[in-house]
Amino acid sequence: MKAEREPMEAAGAGERRDIVLPGGCLLCDGDLEVRLGERGHAASFCPRCRWISHPHMRRADGAVQVIHPAGGLA
């Protein structure tokens, strides 16, 4: 789990916010571009390995946490 340590203001209704998490990609450790949308929805993209995901976002301890839940069961 990676966390962005810069404080973020709440986005208004219909507003989208983009943030970059340096070294945030789980696959290649590249910079992860995250778009925060309405109602807490998020999408992320790594330009280095081209990984696209829809992480869960959570605020905790003054940071925004990007969580990528497991995609399957073993």
- Look at residue 74 and tell me if it is in a domain: no
| pLDDT band with cut points at 50, 70 and 90 for residue 6 | very low
**Distance separating alpha carbons of residues 46 and 26, to the nearest angstrom:** 9
**Distance separating alpha carbons of residues 9 and 32, to the nearest angstrom:** 20
pLDDT: is 39 or 18 the higher one? 18
- Look at residue 37 and tell me if it is in a domain: yes
Count of structural domains within the chain: 1
- Look at residue 38 and tell me if it is in a domain: yes
- Look at residue 32 and tell me if it is in a domain: yes
pTM above 0.85, yes or no: no
What range does the domain containing 39 cover? Answer: 2-9+16-67
- Look at residue 73 and tell me if it is in a domain: no
- Look at residue 41 and tell me if it is in a domain: yes
- The tokens describing 36, both together, are 């925060």
**Distance separating alpha carbons of residues 64 and 51, to the nearest angstrom:** 20
Most confident of 5-9, 11-15, 30-34, 36-40: 30-34
